Structures are given as C-alpha cells and as structure tokens.
C-alpha cells in the first residue's frame, strides 16, 4: 500500500511471517539458487560522455555520465555509507551492465540488522513499486514493498545523490539525474539468507545490503542537516564544534554527513575532547581514525563514521569535536541554528591542540558533524521538530532546549531507562512542505519536510527506540490546512510503526499575538490538536498545548513561558515542556 502526500510516495511495509513449509511454496524465481546481485546485472546505466551509445538506462538511450559520478565520489567499486547502510557502487566500466531490472531475482544477502537498504532508481517518468520478500536462515520469510522514485522526476529532497547531466545519443543534457537509497524493515535478530526482488517494470537496483542494528551503541547527540549555505571559504582550516551530550559511555564514535552535497568533502584529521571553556579542552584532544586512517573523504550524499575510540564521554556535558579541512570548502551541509558558539581556526591543522589560541573566529552553525554515539546504553529517543525543539530563543551556550532538559530528567531518575535524547529539530521546518529544496546552495536553511527527512533523521538514527513528532505550527502559519497536516502526521506514524518504533506526538502550542497566527490559523491548529488527542494513531500524546497555554486565554501562551515573540517559549517555557512529559510514555 502507498499513500501520497504532496506527491511523495511512501511504502508502508507489512510483515508476513511464513512457516518454513509455506516458504517452500514460492513464486517463480524464489526457488532459484540465490546469487550475488552482480550476477543478475542486465541493464547498463553508466556511459562515458564520449561514448553515450554504449548505455541505455531508460530504454530511450539516456544514461548516467561516468565523469559526473566520479566527480561526486561515486567511483566504480567505491563503498558508500548512506542512512547507516554500507553499499558498494558497482565495480563496472562505463558501458558495461551495472544494475538489475527487478523481476523476481533471488539475491544472496547475509547479515542481521534493522533494515535492508537498496540503491535504486526508477525509469518511466513516475515512481515504480513492487513487492518482494526476505528469506531468513531459520526458514521464515517477511515481505516488503519497495518504491523507487524516478531518476529524472523524483524528489531532490530524498535523493542520495544528484548528477548535473544526463547522457543521450544526441548529446549531453544539462538535466539532473537522481539516485536513491531506500530502506525496508527486517525482522530484528534473524539472519538474512536471501532477498527476492520485486517484479516491477522500470525498477533498477544497483546495490543492496543489510543495515546493522547498532548493537552496543546509543545515540548521545545529533543534529539534522538543514541545508547547504555558502561558508568561509575555509581552506586549510580547523573547525572546532561544541556539542552537548545526553548520555555518557566508555567509548565514542562520531558521524559526519555530506547530505545534499554535489561534491565530496575531505576531512584530514579529527579529535574529540571534553570542553573546559570556549575552545579550550579540559585535556589533550584524542585523535580519531576512519577505518584506520587519520582522515576520510566523504562522497556527495554519503556519511562517514569514525572508528570506535576508547574515550570516556561524560553525560550532560560539552564536547569539543575538531576536524581539519585541508582543501577549500565554499559551501557545506550544516545545521543552521546551533544556539551554541563553536570556532574556526587560523590556517593549519590544530585538531590536537588543547589551547584555544588558534581558534579566532566564532561559528554559530554545526557543519558536517551530525552524530555522537556512545557505547552501551538502552537506545535513544528521537525528537523530530521545528524551531521550538531546535531551541530558538533559548539562551545561547546554556543548553536549555527542551530536549536538553528532558535528557537531564532522564539521567536523574530510575523508573525508566536512561535513554539518549537526539534533537532533530530544524528551525522553520514543516510537516508537508520543503523549505530547503533538497539540492544546491541555498539561503533557506529550514530543511526538507518532516515527511522527506523522516527516514534519514529518525529511522536511520543510532539505536532509535521512540520518536516524538512535534511539528505543525509552521505549516498552519503557512496556510497549510489541518487535513494536509493530519495526513502527513498519519503517514509519519505509519512509517515509524512499520519499523517497530514507539511513536508519540506533541500538540501544537498556541501562538495568538504573533503576526501570522490569525483566527483562521488558530482554527486549523485546534483541528490538528483535536485529531492528535483523539485519533489514537500515536502511541501516546504529549499535550504541550495544555501545559503551556494561558488558562484564562487558551489561544495564547502563558506570559511566564513566552520568549516575547508569542511563538517560541523562552527558557522557562521550554523547561515546562520537558517537565510535562510522562517519562513512562517513552518506553516501547
């Protein structure tokens, strides 16, 4: 089944666990011996610009330029990590078969994890979907529905990478080609034996892999990429970011994302330290490694995890994450609203220096870094939100966002597990409308919609157990109807439940007095809140509206909680939000 919200196709996956005897009664192709994916390659997508006629991706002679793929860092045989899954771009020369037209082939795949990741694209001008199945070594099977957006018309907001050209026999077109990574759930704990591809005309599969379940790791800090602005330019500079942990642990790993980018970025070296003050470390920063190397090149649209490092991460504390950019960086993926001062150095690699002397410029964004994980722990709660979750109007450098206060509450009690709290708020974000278009350098850094970023910012987050969705005020202020918002929230709840997450929703805060919060907007807000409270779609409701509204004037925020703009709570209001959460509601 697929639902469509503003043209975005979403696959809702249902599990059909079959007994071993039933699994033996397979459809055509399921009984064939599983083979590696490359043994089924029967389509040629990539051509050299000088010889475009050697490839025909779409049946009309068009193809992907090999030169553009290489420029994006997608060279033949290159391993790429996208949404936590490690996929390999086919090791094929231009003009040679490099992908599978899905037609029920049985592919040998191994591993245990939470999801199966496909590197795909559709041809034919529209999304293409089909149903396949996963066979496990214990003889059971689960079904999945895979939807591949079209390579020329699919949403840029959800792409893995976009290329600037398309090759045709008549010459190269200045038109973007898209490739997508789509994940579907697996039965956790079971060993995968093989995957039967869907039967779907025009569905091309370049790679697939099991995404590991992040056993032994808990997300402690995270930030969502909100867009790609111009930066610096930074050339031979070290960036030192200040981030605040929720939970601690004896080992650490970091995640860097080149989301939405068109070109690779090179990190020459990186370190981690506990902050003393400003850009000064408490102790000598400790060097990180990336698959044993000091640095890493991150392809366009991909991510990189550092190797696990024995480093004691304190809970509820500030870390300094420093990384050297040896090349020239003129634009970068960022989280725009850090509400935290970070730093940029003078020329040189200053990652290993504990002193603040080299860090002469203040930075108020978080570029490239998107996650800090610690070993151990019970998993994480992910907060998908807008500027109120992002901490807009809270005190800079004070960590008084409501997710910070919630994390501190969790640490101080022993009724529920000490979950990590991952803040995926983006200022200006909406449920159903993209603000950042999902491609290119932009001055609008309010992110792609919650629908378009849900897979990356929630499902792919480290050890996610529960998600809290708290968005909608920007939608109603932007003339989106309650019905459209409700459809989007329902879609998000369905997708989270399909992955085994506990899904919670927060009611939208009152905002009368803010210039765009008219009587008509209030009517839509009230309608969305009534649905959140009464629909039963979410596993629990966090009634932030009831907690912060003025009892004498319920369409307004209580003055003590108002930052002064009648839209965002101040420090006191954000703390009240966090205190209103029944911690038992977070437990799956």
HEC assignment per residue over 147-210: EECECCCCCHHHCCEEECCEEECCEEECCCEEEEEEEEECCCCCCEEEEECCEEEEEEEEEEEE
Has residue 100 got a pLDDT over 60?
Answer: yes
- The number of helices, as runs of H, and strands, as runs of E, in the chain is 10, 40
Q: Which residue has the tokens 């610096």?
A: 232
- 15 pLDDT higher than 60: no
pTM of this structure: 0.94
| pLDDT on residue 442 | 96
Q: What pLDDT shows up at residue 27? A: 34
Question: In the structure encoding, which two tokens stand for residue 564, read together?
Answer: 């002064």
What contacts 201, CB < 8 A, 6 or more positions away?
A: 101, 124, 128
Q: What SS3 class is residue 512?
A: strand
Domain ranges of the chain: 2-211, 225-369, 378-588
Query: Which residue is associated with the tokens 């004691």?
Result: 312
**Residue 38: what pLDDT?**
98
Measure the CA–CA gap between 315 and 489, rounded to whole angstroms: 32
pLDDT at 11: 40
* pLDDT, mean of residues 390-402: 98
Sign of CA dihedral 32, 35, 38, 39: negative
Return the half-sphere exposure (C-beta side, CA atoms, 13 A cut-off) of residue 188.
10
Angle formed at CA 307 by CA 257 and CA 117, multiple of 5 degrees: 55
Of 225, 447, 449, 446, nearest in space to 335 by CA: 225
Cα dihedral sign, 320-324-329-333: negative
Inter-residue contact 256 to 368 (CB < 8 Å): yes
Contact 315, 409 (CB under 8 A): no
Structure confidence by residue, pLDDT tens digits, 443-462: 999 999 999 999 999 999 99
Q: Which residue's structure tokens are 């056993």? A: 215
Non-local (6+) Cβ contacts of 161 within 8 A are 72, 74, 178, 179, 262, 299, 300, 301
H helix intervals, 369-518: 387-390, 402-411, 450-454, 473-477, 482-498
pLDDT band at 215 (very low <50, low <70, confident <90, very high): confident
pLDDT tens for 273-315 read 999 999 999 999 999 999 999 999 999 999 999 999 999 999 9
- pLDDT, tens digit (0-9, with 9 covering 90-100), for 243-279: 999 999 999 999 999 999 999 999 999 999 999 999 9
Q: What is the sign, positive or negative, of the torsion defined by CA atoms of 15, 20, 22, 26?
A: positive
Round to whole Å and give the CA distance between 328 and 575.
41
Cβ neighbors of 479 (< 8 A, separation 6 or more) are none
Q: What is the mean pLDDT of residues 431-438?
A: 98
Neighbours of 579 (CB within 10 A): 12
d(CA 178, CA 140): 35
Q: How far apart are CA 353 and CA 550, in angstroms?
A: 50
| CATH code for the structural domain at 378-588 | 3.40.50.1110
Contact 127, 154 (CB under 8 A): yes
The strand pair at 269-277 and 318-331 is best described as: antiparallel
- Mean pLDDT across the chain: 94
Question: What's residue 29's pLDDT?
Answer: 42
pLDDT band at 169 (very low <50, low <70, confident <90, very high): very high
**Contact indicator for 470, 544 with CB cutoff of 8 Å:** yes
């Amino acid at each position: 089944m697929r639902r469509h919200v503003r043209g975005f196709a979403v696959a809702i996956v249902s599990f059909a666990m079959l007994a071993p005897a039933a699994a033996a009664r397979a459809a055509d192709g399921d009984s064939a011996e599983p083979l590696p994916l490359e043994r089924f390659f029967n389509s040629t997508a990539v051509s050299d610009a000088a010889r475009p006629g050697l490839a025909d991706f779409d049946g009309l002679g068009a193809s992907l330029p090999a030169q553009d793929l290489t420029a994006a860092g997608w060279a033949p045989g290159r391993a790429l990590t996208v949404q936590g899954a490690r996929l390999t771009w086919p090791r094929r020369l231009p003009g040679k078969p490099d992908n599978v037209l899905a037609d029920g082939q049985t592919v040998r795949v191994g591993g245990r994890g939470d999801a199966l990741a496909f590197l795909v694209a559709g041809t034919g001008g529209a999304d293409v979907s089909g149903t396949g199945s996963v066979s496990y070594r214990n003889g059971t099977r689960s079904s999945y529905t895979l939807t591949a957006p079209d390579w020329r018309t699919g949403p840029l907001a959800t792409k893995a990478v976009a290329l600037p050209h398309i090759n045709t026999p008549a010459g190269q077109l200045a038109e973007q080609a898209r490739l997508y990574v789509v994940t579907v759930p697996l039965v956790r704990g079971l060993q995968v034996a093989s995957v039967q591809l869907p039967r779907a005309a025009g569905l091309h599969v370049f790679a697939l892999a099991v995404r590991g379940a992040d056993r032994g790791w808990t997300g402690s800090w995270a930030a969502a990429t909100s867009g790609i602005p111009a930066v610096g330019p930074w050339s031979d500079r070290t960036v030192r970011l200040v981030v605040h942990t929720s939970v601690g642990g004896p080992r650490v790993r970091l995640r860097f994302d080149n989301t939405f980018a068109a070109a690779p970025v090179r990190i020459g070296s990186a370190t981690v330290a506990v902050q003393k003050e400003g850009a000064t470390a408490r102790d000598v920063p400790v060097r990180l490694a990336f698959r044993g190397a000091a640095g890493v090149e991150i392809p366009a649209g991909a991510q990189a995890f550092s190797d696990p490092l024995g480093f004691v991460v304190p809970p509820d504390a500030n870390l300094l994450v420093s990384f050297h950019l040896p090349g020239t960086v003129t634009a970068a993926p960022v989280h725009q609203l850090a509400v935290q001062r970070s730093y940029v150095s003078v020329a040189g690699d200053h990652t290993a220096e504990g002193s603040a002397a080299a860090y002469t410029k203040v930075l108020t964004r978080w570029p490239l870094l998107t996650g800090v994980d610690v070993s151990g722990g019970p998993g994480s709660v992910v907060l998908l939100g807008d500027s109120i979750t992002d901490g807009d109007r809270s005190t800079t450098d004070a960590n008084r966002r409501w997710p910070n206060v919630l994390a501190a509450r969790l640490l101080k009690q022993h009724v529920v597990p000490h979950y990590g709290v991952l803040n995926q708020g983006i200022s200006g974000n909406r449920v159903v409308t993209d603000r950042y278009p999902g491609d290119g350098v932009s001055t609008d850094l309010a992110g792609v919609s919650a629908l378009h970023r849900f897979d990356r910012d929630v499902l792919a987050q480290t050890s996610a157990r529960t998600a809290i969705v708290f968005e909608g005020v920007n939608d109603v202020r932007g003339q989106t109807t309650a019905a459209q918002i409700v459809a989007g929230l329902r879609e998000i709840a369905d997708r989270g439940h399909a992955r085994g997450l506990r899904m919670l929703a927060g009611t939208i805060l009152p905002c009368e007095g803010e210039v765009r919060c008219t009587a008509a907007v209030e009517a839509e807000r009230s309608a969305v809140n009534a649905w959140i409270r009464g629909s039963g779609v979410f596993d629990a409701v966090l009634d932030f509206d009831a907690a912060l509204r003025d009892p004498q004037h319920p369409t307004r925020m209580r003055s003590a909680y108002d930052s002064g703009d009648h839209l965002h709570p101040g420090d006191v209001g954000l703390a009240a939000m966090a205190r209103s959460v029944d911690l038992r509601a977070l437990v799956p």
